[in-house]
Amino acid sequence: MFVTAFIIAIEGGDGVGKNTISNALAASLRSKSKSVAVIDFPRYGDTLAGGALKQFLNGETKRPVTAQVAAVLYALDRFEYRDDILKAINENDFVIFDRYVASNVAYQAAKVPKADRSTMMEWVADLELETFSLPRPNLNVLLRLDVAAARSLVSRKPKRDYTSLEHDVHEADDTLQTRLRENYEHIADQAMISRWTVIDVSRFGSLRNPSEICAEVERSVEELGAFAIS
Ligand SMILES: Nc1ncnc2c1ncn2[C@@H]1O[C@H](COP(=O)(O)OP(=O)(O)O)[C@@H](O)[C@H]1O
Ligand SMILES: Cc1cn([C@H]2C[C@H](O)[C@@H](COP(=O)(O)OP(=O)(O)O)O2)c(=O)[nH]c1=O
């Protein structure tokens, strides 16, 4: 059977719950008889660029990695994995990306002076979607959670394959985390890349149940008229 998936990219700062929501959303959609693939980026163990990114995030690169170099590595990681992406899109009703193009746009633009941010954002989006012809998601979901709460969730994570650090080089930098949140808000507000839905992960000071957050995502998908999920 040939289908073309509805593509959802789950986005946000480090530790906001992207992995949790990606998997909970997949489980919820599968319970409604939809076929779903979840793909997370970077592909640390699968691509050459992913291997280089692992070194970078562990602070092991011998020379500084500029925002442009990082942008190319993250985009290359997806480009190397492009055939698998296209296969997943052809074989499923839904493809959920745990981070995608918008991560690169928001993070790398957070590393340049404010005056250069929008040029950087446009350059990165163009590199991924035009130069590398990566498929555009139908919906981006921004999970919004403040830096302090997200930082404490990162500490709760079990040991990760790509780093032995409790906080990798991005996670350890609170000012970067603040700037990338501003960038995500801007990108979502401008409907850059494609449509966005912005969801607050906490309410009245406590984390919301993942099933409640997933229900919000599903409502946004239904509003786009692409699928009747229930
Ligand atoms: N809504 C939530 N409620 C309770 N715990 C959560 C929630 N979202 C994430 N967590 C927990 O926080 C930690 C980080 O979540 P994770 O999904 O790995 O974040 P990310 O993928 O954004 O880095 C995990 O231990 C996860 O179980
Ligand atoms: C996929 C991607 C990730 N990143 C950053 C975000 C993270 O700080 C780091 C590692 O991503 P990831 O392994 O998803 O971290 P986490 O699970 O903690 O959110 O790489 C980019 O800057 N651009 C990208 O395109």
Does 33 reside within a domain? yes
> What atom of ligand 2 comes closest to residue 108's alpha carbon?
22
Contact (Cβ atoms closer than 8 angstroms) between residue 169 and residue 67 = no
Q: Cα dist. 106→34, 109, 112, 123 in Å?
A: 31, 5, 11, 12
pLDDT tens for 12-35 read 999 999 999 999 999 999 999 999
Classify residue 36: in a domain, yes or no: yes
Tokens matching residue 17: 């719950």
Q: How confident is the model at residue 161 (pLDDT cuts 50, 70, 90)?
A: confident
Say which range, 92-96, 157-161, 198-202, has the weakest mean pLDDT.
157-161
Q: Is position 196 within any domain?
A: yes
**Which protein residue's CA is at the shortest distance from atom 12 of ligand 1?**
153
Instruction: Answer for the pair 89, 5: CB distance below 8 angstroms, yes or no.
Output: yes
**pLDDT band at residue 41, thresholds of 50, 70 and 90?**
very high
Q: Which residues contact 24 (CB under 8 A, 6 or more apart)?
A: 210, 211, 213, 214
pLDDT of residue 1: 47
Q: How many domains does the chain have?
A: 1
**Are 183 and 70 within 8 A, CB to CB?**
no
Please write the tens of the pLDDT for every residue from 79-119: 999 999 999 999 999 999 999 999 999 999 999 999 999 99
Q: What is the CATH number of the domain that holds 131?
A: 3.40.50.300
Which ranges in the chain belong to alpha helices (H)?
18-31, 48-57, 67-80, 82-91, 101-109, 117-126, 147-155, 174-189, 210-223
Is 184 within 8 Å of 11 (Cβ atoms)?
A: yes
220 domain-assigned: no
Q: pLDDT-based confidence at 222, cuts 50/70/90?
A: very high
How far does the centroid of ligand 2 lie from the alpha carbon of residue 23, in Å? 17
Confidence tier at 226 by pLDDT (50, 70, 90): low
Q: Residue 196: its pLDDT value, please?
A: 98
* Distance from Cα 5 to the centre of ligand 1, integer Å: 26
Q: What's the pLDDT score for residue 6?
A: 96
Q: Is residue 102 part of a domain?
A: yes
pLDDT tier at 157, thresholds 50, 70, 90: confident
What proportion of the chain, given as a percentage, has pLDDT over 90?
Answer: 87
C-alpha–C-alpha distance, residues 159 and 178, integer Å: 25
ipTM (interface predicted TM): 0.97
Would residue 98 count as lying in a domain?
yes
Q: Per the domain annotation, does 179 fall within a domain?
A: yes
Structure token pair of residue 199:
């969801």
Choice from 40, 43, 107 to test ligand 2 binding pocket (greatest atom count within 8 A of CB): 107
Mutate to test the pocket of ligand 1, among 20, 28, 202 (most ligand atoms within 8 A of CB): 20
Q: Whose CA is nearest to atom 24 of ligand 2?
A: 104
Q: Do the domain assignments include residue 80?
A: yes
Tell me which residue range forms the domain holding 163.
6-200
